[in-house]
Structure 1
Amino acid sequence: MLVSEAVAISTRVAPSFIRVGQVELFARRARKQEHPDAMEELEKMVLHLIDREYAEVIDNTLSTAEKVVLLAHEFRNRLTSLVANWVRVGYCQGNFNSDNCAAGGFTLDYGPFGFCEAFDPYYQPWTGGGEHFAFFNQPVAAERNFEMFCAALQPLLASDQVALQKLEEIRSGFAVEMQAEVEKMFAAKLGLDALDAALFKELAFLMLQTPVDYTLFFRELSSIPADIGPLRKSFYSDLNEEMDKRWSEWLTKWKSLISGTTNANTETSRSLEEIGEQMKRVNPKYILREWMLAPAYQQAATGNYALIRELQDVMTQPYAEQSKEVEEKYYRLKPSEFSELGGVSHMSCSS
């Protein structure tokens, strides 16, 4: 469905706009020797990136080769943490190619970004985006971006085989580091010390079959409910008898696991209350949903910014228990009238 909207000239704000794609561009010129200063320009670009984004962790007195290897290591740490946290809060960048990947390791809101509502590992807010940039595929997209970044650094290390080998080890270790970050993140969302693969696989299946609101579900789970009653707030459909049973069985298994952590005879054992509070610190209660934003910017077009300011106030405290009025208005499932609506449920790349 095509929706006609007024255009706007907007300004993007970020700590820096140095992207992996830009480093790639300079590296391509250097490899092809497009002009006599191409290699020098690549080195200046990379050293500028280090000075601007990594000065606090990379010693300026080191050689260029040493700096480049440390840059790759630090960027890997930042990128794996960033993408794991995207998935943690339900964020999908939507168009996570190298030109939309900040070399400083932070989020650039380029493209049709959005937050997953009804859980779908292949959620993609952009109608033409395909699965390669989908919600659960973001770690793979990040790995591809990192490979391109490392390839762009290689010309600077051509005369240093030891540094090249270190760079290759850092590059090849990305997938393992990324998986470790994702598992640690989901363990935290579930209040576990370590992720139980079978339990998580079953949960993902149930969340798909029901279906379930990603944000509401994990927030309700953070209260460690006695039964599945409170979890129903996050369900977009009623359960049949079989699914009701399966959800109850899953909840029992999960509670048995977290109860095991509270009974462990260790110095790090936690009470259920402590586990719940820790879960609430990683499972936000409020996210920016498109069906909240659309009325706000439509109202703003008339000169009334009340909803914009209200949303700003709410979203600056996404983990907090806010007023009953705020909860009733913003802590709920997507209203049916916004389903399948162009500009809310689906967007073009430049939306």
Structure 2
Amino acid sequence: MSTAFDTPTSANPHPAAPDLKWVNSFAGLGADFYTELAPSPLPSPYWVGRNRALARELGLHDQWLESAETLAALTGNQPLAGSRPLASVYAGHQFGVWAGQLGDGRAILLGELETPRGPQEIQLKGAGKTPYSRMGDGRAVLRSSIREFLCSEAMHGLGIATTRALCVTGSDAAVRREEIETAAVVTRTAPSFIRFGHFEHFSYRNKPAQLKALADYVIARFYPDCREARQPYAALLQAVSERTAHMMAAWQAVGFCHGVMNTDNMSILGLTIDYGPFQFLDAFDPGHICNHSDDHGRYAYNKQPNMAYWNLFCLGQALLPLIENQEDALAALESYKTVFPQALQARMRAKLGLPDEHESDGQLIESTFRLLASNKVDYTIFWRRLCGFTAQSGHEPVRDLFFDLESFNAWALQYSERLAPVDIAQKADLMLKSNPKYVLRNHLGEEAIQAAKLKDFSQVDTLLTLLQAPFDEHPGQDSFAGFPPDWASSIAISCSS
């Protein structure tokens, strides 16, 4: 019999029909952790975007992502044999306030698929109401689904830990938000979608057996080294803290703003998860707030590292019944304070083309950030142009970005002195691999969304290609790497999706 990992034969012409190799290990935790239910169908679905590169990484042949059967299955209109659809329960702190029980309000986990990359959970986001939808309709709209589809792949292309999206399907079914929009479903993948909030749910409800079962499951599946530690649950907290620190350093270095860093949006695997009101910086503003629902700027760009630690502290509190000793928990959290600055400085040295560490690098990095902020310089374009800067030449394209030339010249002298002993070829190679030419700016996403509303998905496809290889030149596509238009600053992104 053919499987989804084989080439289809004439005896089996429908590549969506064969059995997929499901594991469904999360379902093995028991009914306290989820509610089993089927997705809700949508009428007349159509393809919006397909990530063929990811499909191949998962071992799925190209035809599988072309068929009508797959379209129906990944819209939630028909089951995939062997899957076990469920919505998980979790809790969380939202904008610093305990929100109590939350859960998958519009996401349905189909199960875990065996792939060449190891087991991968397959989840449909926007697949209808669940017991955790609260006042919501369980749906996602086209605009937010396209943004998540493109941005998760953009982050992967940048080398940043993230969930990924296999496809987006659409339907003309009406969905009411601030205005009437149309429905869409994102099929997203990750080794696990478990969040800090899963642990908070059982801890706050005083369910130690379930809390322990969840922690043991996560350790066994994803952090097996922790089992050998003196205190396995403190070791788990430390491992999560360190992964989160590396993720945050990557966000800050590339100028990524998440916008809604609630504990229910924090991955236990240190993955970027739940793309809502995100943004890549245009003009560099350390206090930039990308989420128009964030009235007090809790998740501004420059506050993200501290908010990640705050969330980890909440995770530590949730795990305390298992760790037992508060000192062990605090010691585990301290690793974040060590790893984050080290990881960020390493990334910034690479962006500056500095292969070796020098005691003055911290000062140079800080002066670079201050200069960018005082001149409101475009973040991505600055770093890409800087790739051509040497101690002797290449200053003009970078200088043209600044209005305060005196400050720029002083900084350029400092930078040139640091570059003097560095091999030019080595520096250029390091910088071109560290400073992307293409990021998913808000206006690019908006243009693709407006075209998609007219059933033109070509810009979605083009952006996907560019964002999968953001450090490459892509001849003929420079318009996607230019300055944002004036109207881009008026784009309002909120939690509504």
Give the TM-score normalised by structure 1.
0.83
Tell me if 1:44 matches 2:213.
Answer: yes
Instruction: Give, in whole Å, the separation in 1 of the partners of 2:329 and 2:197.
Output: 19
Per-residue CA deviations over 1:286-317 (Å, capped at 9, x if unaligned) read 10011111111211122221111111111111
Per-residue CA deviations over 1:246-290 (Å, capped at 9, x if unaligned) read 212211210111213x2xxxxxxxx12211210121111110011
2:240 to 75, 93, 111: 75
1:242-321 correspondence to structure 2 within 5 Å: 243-260=404-421, 262=422, 271-321=423-473
User: Is there any run of 5+ residues in structure 1 with no aligned partner, and where?
Assistant: 31-37, 263-270
1:172 to 325, 328, 334: 334
- Please name the residue that 1:111 is paired with: 276
- Please name the residue that 1:138 is paired with: 304
Instruction: Give, in whole Å, the separation in 1 of the partners of 2:372 and 2:180.
Output: 34
Per-residue CA deviations over 1:69-98 (Å, capped at 9, x if unaligned) read 221221122110001001111111111121
- Please name the residue that 2:477 is paired with: 326
Q: Give the alignment's Cα RMSD to 1 decimal.
A: 2.2
Identity of aligned residues (%): 26
Q: Tell me how far 1:200 sits from its aligned partner.
A: 2.8
Tell me if 1:153 matches 2:299.
Answer: no
Tell me if 1:18 matches 2:194.
Answer: yes
Q: Structure 1's 50 and 350: CA in aligned 2 closer, same or farther, altered over 3 A? A: farther
Q: Is this contact kept in 2: 1:125–1:347, CA < 8 A?
A: yes
- Please name the residue that 2:183 is paired with: 8
Name which of structure 1's ranges 293-302 and 183-192 shifts more when overlaid on structure 2: 183-192
Q: 1 or 2, which has the higher helix percentage?
A: 1
Q: Tell me how far 1:232 sits from its aligned partner.
A: 4.8
User: Is there any run of 5+ residues in structure 2 with no aligned partner, and where?
Assistant: 1-176
Indicate the SS of the match to 1:132: coil
Instruction: Give, in whole Å, the separation in 2 of the partners of 1:209 and 1:229.
Output: 19
Q: Tell me how far 1:112 sits from its aligned partner.
A: 0.9
Indicate the SS of the match to 2:347: helix
Q: Which amino acid aligns with 2:436?
A: P
Q: Is this contact kept in 2: 1:88–1:283, CA < 8 A?
A: no
2:205 to 29, 34, 50: 29
Give the TM-score normalised by structure 2.
0.59
Q: Which has the higher contact order (CA 8 A, sep 6+)?
A: 1
Q: Is this contact kept in 2: 1:228–1:247, CA < 8 A?
A: no
Q: Is this contact kept in 2: 1:14–1:108, CA < 8 A?
A: no
- Please name the residue that 1:267 is paired with: none
Q: 1 or 2, which has the higher strand percentage?
A: 2
Instruction: Give, in whole Å, the separation in 2 of the partners of 1:5 and 1:187.
Output: 47
Instruction: Give, in whole Å, the separation in 1 of the partners of 2:264 and 2:187.
Output: 15
